[in-house]
Amino acid sequence: MNKADFAVVGQPLPKIDAWAKVTGETKYADDLVLPRMAYGKLLRSPHPHARITGIDTARARALPGVYAVITGADLPPVKFGILPVSQDEEGLCTEKVRMVGDAVAAVAAVDEETAERACELIEVGYEPLPALMSIEDSLAHPEVRIHEYGDGPNVHKNVALQFGDVEDAFARAHLVREDVFYFEGNTHLPMEQHAAVAHHGPDGKLTLWSSTQTPHYVHRLLGKILDMPTAHIRVIAAPVGGGFGGKLDPFAHEIAACKLSQVTGRPVKITLTREEVFYVHRGRHPVLMWIKTGFTRDGDITGCHLRTWLDGGAYGSYGVASTFYTGVINPVTYKMPIYKFEGARIFTNKPPCGPKRGHGTPQPRFALECQLDKAAEQLGLDPADLRRRIVAEPFTKTANHLTVTTIGLAECIDKVVEASGWREKRRALRARPRTGTKKTGLGIACSAYLTGAGTAIYWNSMPHSGVIIRADRGGGVAVLCGATDIGQGSDSILAYLPAEVLGIDPRDVRVHPADTDLTPVDLGSYSSRVTLMCGMAVIQAAQRLRTVIFKAVAEKLDVEPSALVARDRKVGVADDWDKALPFARAVELAEAMHGVLAFAGSYAPPKRAGKYKGGGVGPSPCYSYSACVVELTVDEETAEIDLRDVWIAHDVGRALNPLLVEGQVEGSVYMGIGEALMEEQVFRKGLHKAPSMLEYKSPTTLETPNIHTMIVETDDPEGPFGAKEAGQGPLLPVIPAIANAVHAAVGVRIDEVPITPDKILRALDLKRRGKPARIGPDKLPLFTFKDALMVESAFGLPAEAIAVRPFADAETVTEPPASTSPAASRAPASPAPDIGARPT
Amino acid sequence: MNSAPRPETVKSQLQLTVNGETRDVLVSAHKTLLEVLREDLGLTGTKHGCELGECGTCTVLVDGVPVLSCLALPVELEGAAIATVEGMATDGRLHPLQQAFAELGAAQCGYCTPGILLTAQALLHQEPAPGRERIREALAGNLCRCTGYTKILDAVELAVLRMARPAVVAGGEG
Other CB atoms within 10 A of residue A677 CB: 22
Q: For A439-460, what is the mean pLDDT?
A: 96
Q: Is the dihedral of CA B80, B86, B91, B96 positive or negative?
A: positive
Residue A275: pLDDT band (50, 70, 90) is very high
* Residues in chain A within 8 Å Cβ distance of B151: 659, 662-663, 666
Q: Which residues pair with A641 in a beta bridge?
A: A634
* Three-class HEC string of A607-673: CCCCCCCCCCCCCCCCEEEEEEEEEEEEECCCCCEEEEEEEEEEECCCCCCHHHHHHHHHHHHHHHH
Strands A50-56 and A123-128: antiparallel
B7 vs A190, higher pLDDT: A190
Nearest to A400 by CA among A330, A478, A322, A475: A330
Closest chain B C-alpha to A748 CA, distance in angstroms: 28
Q: Which residue ranges in chain B fall short of pLDDT 50?
A: 1-5, 168-174
Q: What is the dihedral of CA A309, A310, A314, A315, to 10 degrees?
A: -110
The rounded distance, in Å, linking the Cα atoms of A497 and A601 is: 13
Chain B nearest-CA residue for A668: B148
Query: What is the predicted pLDDT for the residue at A801?
Result: 60
The rounded distance, in Å, linking the Cα atoms of A266 and A244 is: 32
Contact A302, A296 (CB under 8 A): yes
- Select the residue of A243, A487, A659 nearest B110 (Cβ to Cβ): A487
**ipTM confidence:** 0.95
The rounded distance, in Å, linking the Cα atoms of B29 and B40 is: 13
| Size of chain A in residues | 840
Nearest to B59 by CA among B130, B137, B140, B134: B140
- Cβ within 8 Å of B, A 183-202: 188-193
Q: What is the pLDDT of residues A74-119, one digit of tens each?
A: 999 999 999 999 999 999 999 999 999 999 999 999 999 999 999 9
Closest chain A C-alpha to B116 CA, distance in angstroms: 10
Measured CA angle at A770 (ends A765, A771), to 5 deg: 75
Contact A273, A96 (CB under 8 A): no
A705 touching B, CB under 8 A? no
Q: What is the pLDDT of residues A415-440, one digit of tens each?
A: 999 999 999 999 999 998 678 999 99
Contact A765, A772 (CB under 8 A): no
Predicted confidence (pLDDT) at residue A818 exceeds the cutoff of 70: no
- Select the residue of B50, B101, B152 nearest A274 (Cβ to Cβ): B50
pTM of the model: 0.95
Average predicted confidence (pLDDT) for chain A: 95
Q: For A461-483, what is the mean pLDDT?
A: 97
Contact A629, A420 (CB under 8 A): yes
The rounded distance, in Å, linking the Cα atoms of A74 and A54 is: 14
Inter-chain residue contact B153 with A694, CB threshold 8 Å: no
Query: What is the predicted pLDDT for the residue at B122?
Result: 98
A3 touching B, CB under 8 A? no
Other CB atoms within 10 A of residue A231 CB: 8
Q: For A768-775, what is the mean pLDDT?
A: 97
Q: What is the pLDDT of residues A372-405, one digit of tens each?
A: 999 999 999 999 999 999 999 999 999 999 999 9
Chain B nearest-CA residue for A238: B109
Q: For A154-161, what is the mean pLDDT?
A: 98
DSSP annotation of A571 reads E
Helices then strands, counting H and E runs in chain B, come out as 5, 5
Q: Which H helix or E strand runs over A280?
A: helix A274-280
Chain A nearest-CA residue for B153: A701
Query: What is the predicted pLDDT for the residue at A814?
Result: 36
Q: Name the least confident of A258-262, A349-353, A778-782.
A: A778-782
Predicted confidence (pLDDT) at residue A836 exceeds the cutoff of 60: no
- Select the residue of A12, A487, A702 nearest B109 (Cβ to Cβ): A487
Q: For A714-739, what is the mean pLDDT?
A: 97
B50: number of CA atoms within 13 Å, CB side? 23
| Farthest CA pair distance, chain A | 88
Predicted confidence (pLDDT) at residue A10 exceeds the cutoff of 60: yes
Q: For A696-708, what is the mean pLDDT?
A: 97
Query: What is the predicted pLDDT for the residue at A88?
Result: 98
Nearest to B19 by CA among A650, A492, A768, A23: A23
Query: What is the predicted pLDDT for the residue at A811?
Result: 55
The rounded distance, in Å, linking the Cα atoms of A541 and A189 is: 36
